[in-house]
Amino acid sequence: MPQLNGGDDLGANDEMISFKDEGEQEEKISENSSAERDLADVKSSLVNESETNQNSSSDSEAERRPPPRSETFRDKTRESLEEAAKRQDGGLFKSPPYPGYPFIMIPDLTSPYLPNGSLSPTARTYLQMKWPLLDVQPGGLQSRQALKDARSPSPAHIVGPFCWEFPGQFHLSNKVPVVQHPHHVHPLTPLITYSNEHFTPGNPPPHLQTDVDPKTGIPRPPHPPDISPYYPLSPGTVGQIPHPLGWLVPQQGQPVYPITTGGFRHPYPTALTVNASMSSLLSSRFPPHMVPPHHSLHTTGIPHPAIVTPNVKQESSHSDISSLNSSKQTDAKKEEEKKKQVHIKKPLNAFMLYMKEMRAKVVAECTLKESAAINQILGRRWHALSREEQAKYYELARKERQLHMQLYPGWSARDNYAANQQGKRKKRKREKQQAESNEHREYFPNPCLSLPPITDLSAPKKCRARFGLDQQNNWCGPCRRKKKCIRYIQGEGSCASPPSTDGSLLDSPPLSPSSAVPSPSSKESKPQTEQMQPLSLTMKPAHQPLHHPHLLAGPPPPSLAQLENSAAAGKTPGASHNGALEHGDVSSSRQPGSSVASSLARPSASLCHSHSLIPSTAPQPLSLVTKSIE
DNA sequence: GCTCCTTTGAAGCGT
DNA sequence: ACGCTTCAAAGGAGC
């Protein structure tokens, strides 16, 4: 696993990437080669940290976290945000025990696996320990009120820190809950974390006795007390230990991983995605009372949301009747499954988890509906995340994989691959990429967006695609190591992520509420540089403006708000509006060969190259480009 | 009704 | 070991 600057761990890197005051960014950039550091390595280190920490105690997530950084702009911003949020929500959603959270995680109120039910005593105890402000008595008035409040569209529970990027659209959050799903569930369930209590022999849940190995029918031994309540088991030990979730399944007939016979497009409970802490995130998927009807069971006997049987719609009902009937139908179901070939989906990776969590927020903030556009925004935000924040999702993803491995020891991604290959599907990607490489269309960033670059996003973005295998000497280091292309990141970051006024790079703090995308009314007066996200400034060549089609074309690039609003207008982001976009730089085009876009982009073919091929070029804040607009 | 789009990351397959 | 490809989520759009 690549290490940064001498194998520093996350914590060390955390210091290295510390969120500096904006004023010192520029000189840091110039004097420190870390500005060009390998983002892939950063991410790798995140994963590495996640893996290396997997054996660490999981019951004290806060303790594992690095101590609060020295107060910085970002911290101040966050603190103020959190304080504001606390004031707003009355403390219901307490800030995670984790300094530097840019937002307050809200439990997924809609997980279908969280029917209105009471927390188990152990779970409640755990809540009391980790979430003193969430000490809600199960089924009590307080919990009901909390649920009601949490469901309420009141901005007190929705807005606040979530809108720090879109203060101008603050009100939008009032319209749409942070997380919207068809099923409303107990809001606190996501906060229920695994506790050793659940697996301690001396303190098994009442239903633990029913924990029987689904394969062998032999009751499983109690969970070893020394086993982490998460997923501490190595894959090799899978199957030799009791499944940490096994005790959940028989209890109420509602699988934690809600399996239905129907095409379940939401296989993994989104409870995982919105959390109050990382530890609670994953565990939230397996609350004891969240066992949906056993419409289908995996061979392991443990239902899993990742299991999808095609061509059958999901039954949303969680009635007890269905639960009772489920046992009778099990045999028939199994037979059906054999026919239908149960589809176990892949575990979500870090970014997918992030997307699931943040999608609703982006939808609410941007009034976007197109997933493609939303994903682009999320992709940029993902890059803008701090290492800490990303690490959270890497950790979650790791646990997801471990859980998945435990649930389906024999499963392989190849299964899905093969299944689809047999069916039909997908070849286009390869064809498309080939076509793109032939056209050699250039990735051309729009500096003002968190939306897609102006040109076709499907254009080659990475060194591999850009230079080809025969020009690997032109590749960036990460690409050579099969890591994330830093040039692509730089280019994309500079395009998509708004820079701070000082030109800070990765280290730059996220947008403060005041610097977030302004409302349509305020965007005019707001310096665009303040609308940009942290990654944006990466090594923008000073001469780039000269090559920038935006400048060549004349019209200024649209602002983030403009673009997002344009996307919200119902068209593909960037398809309308001013500047180069109107010159045919239609993003997300399904026609890779979009002529005008290509022709406009082609002059800048060396744009992204210039970032890296001319490393001596003094990085220049992208803001210089965008400022000229005004 | 199926596929595409769009993102990142994980993993499988082929060389 | 490396490169390429697919799949995971999401939902509107297009065919």
pLDDT tens per residue, range A400-435? 888 888 888 888 887 777 655 554 444 444 444 444
Average of per-residue pLDDT values in chain A? 44
Is the CB atom of residue A238 positioned under 7 angstroms from any atom of strand B? no
Q: Which nucleotides of strand B lie within 7 A of protein CB? A: 2-13
Name the residue with higher pLDDT: A423 or A398: A398
Is the CB atom of residue A383 positioned under 7 angstroms from any atom of strand B? yes
Question: Coil, strand or helix: which one is A219?
Answer: strand
- The stretch A434-463 carries a mean pLDDT of 38
The Cα–Cα gap between A462 and A486 comes to: 8
| Closest residue to C2 measured CA to C1′ | A482
Q: How far is the CA of A87 from the C1' of C7 (A)?
A: 42
pLDDT recorded at residue A353 = 93
The one-letter code for the residue type at A345 is K
Determine the straight-line distance between the first and last CA of chain A, rounded to whole angstroms: 45
Q: How far is the CA of A367 from the C1' of C14 (A)?
A: 22
Q: How far is the CA of A233 from the C1' of C5 (A)?
A: 30
| Parallel/antiparallel/unpaired status of strands A343-344 and A307-308 | antiparallel
Q: How far is the CA of A435 from the C1' of B15 (A)?
A: 22
| Closest residue to B3 measured CA to C1′ | A425
Q: How far is the CA of A172 from the C1' of B1 (A)?
A: 33
The Cα–Cα gap between A128 and A121 comes to: 10
Is the CB atom of residue A432 positioned under 7 angstroms from any atom of strand B? yes
Q: How far is the CA of A421 from the C1' of B1 (A)?
A: 19
Residue indicated by tokens 């708000």: A561
- The stretch A63-92 carries a mean pLDDT of 38
Is the CB atom of residue A430 positioned under 7 angstroms from any atom of strand B? no
Query: Which nt has its C1' nearest the CA of A431?
Result: C5
Query: Which nt has its C1' nearest the CA of A351?
Result: B8
CA-closest candidate to residue A157, choices A147, A166, A167 = A147
Q: What percent of chain A has pLDDT over 90?
A: 3
pLDDT recorded at residue A394 = 92
Q: Which nucleotides of strand C lie within 7 A of protein CB? A: 2-13
Query: Which nt has its C1' nearest the CA of A349?
Result: B9
By the 8 A CB rule, do A44 and A2 touch? yes
pLDDT digits (tens, 9 = 90+) for A341-384: 577 888 999 999 999 999 988 888 888 888 898 998 999 999 99
pLDDT digits (tens, 9 = 90+) for A141-153: 343 443 333 333 3
Assigned token pair, A270: 């989104």
Query: Which nt has its C1' nearest the CA of A311?
Result: B1
Percent helix, strand, coil in chain A (nearest 5)? 45, 0, 50
Is the CB atom of residue A348 positioned under 7 angstroms from any atom of strand B? no
By the 8 A CB rule, do A109 and A176 touch? no
By the 8 A CB rule, do A394 and A50 touch? yes
- The stretch A174-197 carries a mean pLDDT of 34
The Cα–Cα gap between A361 and A144 comes to: 24
The Cα–Cα gap between A96 and A622 comes to: 33
Which residues lie near nucleic chain C, judged by CB under 7 A?
A 265-268, 270, 306, 343, 345-346, 348-349, 351-352, 355-356, 359, 369-372, 375, 413, 416-417, 419-421, 425-427, 429-430, 433-434, 464-465, 469, 472, 480-482, 570
- C-alpha A18: how far from chain center: 21
pLDDT digits (tens, 9 = 90+) for A85-104: 344 333 333 333 333 333 33
What residues contact residue A405 under an 8 Å CB cut-off, 6+ apart?
A235, A238, A411
By the 8 A CB rule, do A82 and A161 touch? yes
Question: Coil, strand or helix: which one is A313?
Answer: strand
